[in-house]
Structure 1
Amino acid sequence: MDRFIDGIEWIAAGFVGLVAADIFISVMLRYFFSYAIPDGYDFGRLFLGILIFWGIAATSYRGAHITVDLIWESVGPKLKRYIDVFATLVVLLVVTVQTIMLFDKVIQTKAQNVLTYDLQLPTWPFFMIAWLGDVAAVILIAVRTFRLVFNPQRVNQEHPTEPVE
């Protein structure tokens, strides 16, 4: 499972690089050669959407997102664990509903044959890749919830070299 988690993080990092490269190359071509990449705007917004959903997946397991822990900081370890489990279950519910709705968007986009402006490429594969990021987020949040309940010391721990007893 730790390799799967690492893989999700690497995929998210790859999309960060892809979005940065798209922006950099677009600006350089426009500035120095007065040339625009065909569908550069469409690719940029579609890659950014993909990045957002894979970013959600990457931050979901680690709990590396922005949080406000005023109550959590003031309670004992047992109550902290209950709060963590409850919060993670709420996030799991919300992201699961989001994943279902995004799948509906993939189906609608394919059925409506939505295309990019210049190259007339179908956009539904980009939506599908974003949806897969959301599916990965659901899986990682479920793993986080399982580990919070049954093995809480493994949640934010770096990958151990020896099995945890």
Structure 2
Amino acid sequence: MSLATWVNRHYSEKGPAKWLVFLLELVAASVLFLLMLTTCLDVAGRYLFSSPVPGATELTRLGLALMVFAAMPVVTYRGGHIVVDLLDNVLGQKVLKVLGLVSALIISSSMYFLGVRIFELGERSIRRGVVTEFLGMPSGYISEYIAIMSWLTAAAVITLGVHRTLFTPEK
């Protein structure tokens, strides 16, 4: 079975979103596997050989950032966040649709401007040569990655919010 066949069978997204979701999930899963492997090697090295993996804590921090921000656009696009619907039975469907659209606009614009600021900070870190404490890896690139994933999340929020508001049938 080819990769395209497998992706088409297991992913319900349409068009290029299907491949983007697959790629982001592949990144998140790979980083999670590497985090697990690093932690196992670090613990085994620490307790069996009295020699932990150098920089394991720093690698874990960077890996968590990579994993969380790779999964964030996917979870958002699929509508997997927790939703509190205490007032849904009280408010009418039209009010709920307007509130859904307003919340999508607020959240997506917040994620966009947050991404802009994080990207600026990442650029500044790169210009100044800021590196991580133990391994000496440039930290600005991780910040720019977080900004790009924030922009993807903003696009996912506005896409999902507008689609659900305008094209979801009323109950």
TM-score range, shorter chain: 0.7 to 0.9
Match of 2:131 in 1: 115
Question: Offset of 1:6 from its aligned partner?
Answer: 4.0
Match of 2:87 among 65, 71, 78: 71
What pairs up with 1:3-152 in 2 under 5 angstroms? 3=18, 4-152=20-168
Q: Quick one: distance in 2 between partners of 1:20 and 1:94?
A: 33
- Percent identity, aligned pairs only? 20
Q: Is the 8 A contact 1:12 1:58 kept in 2?
A: no
Q: Aligned Cα RMSD in Å?
A: 2.4
Q: Is the 8 A contact 1:92 1:141 kept in 2?
A: yes
Match of 1:157 in 2: none
> Cα–Cα, structure 1 residues 33 and 107, in superposed 2: closer, same or farther, change >3 Å?
same
Structure 2: which 5+ residue stretches go unaligned? Answer: 1-15
Give the alignment's TM-score, normalised by structure 2. Answer: 0.73
Question: Offset of 1:87 from its aligned partner?
Answer: 1.5
> Cα–Cα, structure 1 residues 37 and 126, in superposed 2: closer, same or farther, change >3 Å?
farther
Q: Is the 8 A contact 1:54 1:134 kept in 2?
A: no
Match of 2:8 in 1: none
Give the alignment's TM-score, normalised by structure 1. Answer: 0.75
Letter in 2 for 1:91: I
> Cα–Cα, structure 1 residues 38 and 137, in superposed 2: closer, same or farther, change >3 Å?
same
Question: Offset of 1:149 from its aligned partner?
Answer: 4.2
Structure 1: which 5+ residue stretches go unaligned? Answer: 154-165
Question: Offset of 1:121 from its aligned partner?
Answer: 2.4
